[in-house]
Chains A and B, each alone.
Chain A
Amino acid sequence: SQQGEEDPQALSIQEGENATMNCSYKTSINNLQWYRQNSGRGLVHLILIRSNEREKHSGRLRVTLDTSKKSSSLLITASRAADTASYFCATDASRGFQKLVFGTGTRLLVSP
Chain B
Amino acid sequence: DGGITQSPKYLFRKEGQNVTLSCEQNLNHDAMYWYRQDPGQGLRLIYYSQIVNDFQKGDIAEGYSVSREKKESFPLTVTSAQKNPTAFYLCASKDRTNYGYTFGSGTRLTVV
Complex Cα–Cα for A2 and B99 (A)? 19
0 or 1 for each of A74-112: is its CB under 8 Å from B? (1 = yes): 000000000000001000100001111111110000000
Distance from B112 Cβ to chain A, minimum over Cβ atoms (Å): 19
Chain B contact residues, CB within 8 Å of chain A:
6, 31, 33, 35, 40-45, 48, 50, 58-59, 88, 90, 92, 94, 99-106, 108
Chain A contact residues, CB within 8 Å of chain B:
1-2, 4, 31, 33, 35, 40-45, 48, 88, 92, 97-105
Question: Looking at the complex, which one of A1, A88, A97 makes contact with B31 (CB distance below 8 Å)?
Answer: A97
Q: Which residues of B contact A31 (CB under 8 A)?
A: 99
Distance from A105 Cβ to chain B, minimum over Cβ atoms (Å): 6
Question: Looking at the complex, which one of A44, A45, A98, A102 makes contact with B42 (CB distance below 8 Å)?
Answer: A102
Complex Cα–Cα for A4 and B44 (A)? 12
B105 x A105 contact (CB < 8 A) = no
